[in-house]
């Protein structure tokens, strides 16, 4: 099975973040996501160079994450977290549908560290975040690092 990360691989999430904040530190990114959770993922700019990944593989899944409840708790009122998580997941699903990816091919986790749970030895992950690649490889998979404008 081939898994393809969404943020930074088939969309330009970094460009969207820069449009709403100049603080791209980890805490700054978390705050921007929390401040703009209704808009987050609605229509991030597409990276045309990597869209071929959606047609190159017959059997693939999009493996993407929303911020963990712990991350959102730092920036949102506790009573808003459930709704924020629901809306961010729905917006990601709607975005992928607009790119022609059916919902059953999209797996959304509550944080990037959970991605490796889906790895079966030999599975391939395309991701722009080296830490995700390392975790995937430790689980027995094959990691393919995709260059993006995001620092990791």
| pLDDT digits 0-9 by tens, 86-123 | 999 999 999 999 999 999 999 999 888 899 999 999 99
**pLDDT of 84 higher than 70:** yes
pLDDT band at residue 146 using 50, 70 and 90 as cut-offs: very high
Q: Is the pTM of this model over 0.85?
A: yes
pLDDT attached to residue 149: 64
Arithmetic mean of pLDDT over the chain: 92
Q: CA 37, CA 89: separation in Å to the nearest integer?
A: 10
Average pLDDT over residues 121-143: 97
Structure tokens at 121: 């030895």
pLDDT attached to residue 69: 85
User: CATH number of the domain at 2-145, please?
Assistant: 3.40.50
pLDDT band at residue 147 using 50, 70 and 90 as cut-offs: confident
Q: CA 144, CA 81: separation in Å to the nearest integer?
A: 33
**pLDDT of 128 higher than 90:** yes
Contacts 24+ apart (CB under 8 A), 41-45: 41/13, 41/88, 41/91, 41/92, 41/95, 42/91, 42/94, 42/95, 43/95, 44/11, 44/12, 44/13, 44/15, 44/16, 44/95, 45/11, 45/12, 45/15, 45/16
Spell out the domain ranges in the chain: 2-145
């Amino acid at each position: 099975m081939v898994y393809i990360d969404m943020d930074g691989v088939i969309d330009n999430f970094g460009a969207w973040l820069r449009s709403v904040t100049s603080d791209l530190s980890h805490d700054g990114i978390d705050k921007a996501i929390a401040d703009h959770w209704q808009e987050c993922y609605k229509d991030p700019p597409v990276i045309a160079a990597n869209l071929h990944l959606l047609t190159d593989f017959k059997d693939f899944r999009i493996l993407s994450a929303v911020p963990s409840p712990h991350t959102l708790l730092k920036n949102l009122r506790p009573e808003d977290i459930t709704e924020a998580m629901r809306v961010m997941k729905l917006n990601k699903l709607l975005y992928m549908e607009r790119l022609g990816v059916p919902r059953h091919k999209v797996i959304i986790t509550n944080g990037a560290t959970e991605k490796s749970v889906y790895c079966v030895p030999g599975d391939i992950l395309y991701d722009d975040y080296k830490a995700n690649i390392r975790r995937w490889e430790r689980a027995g998979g094959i990691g393919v690092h995709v260059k993006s404008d995001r620092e990791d």
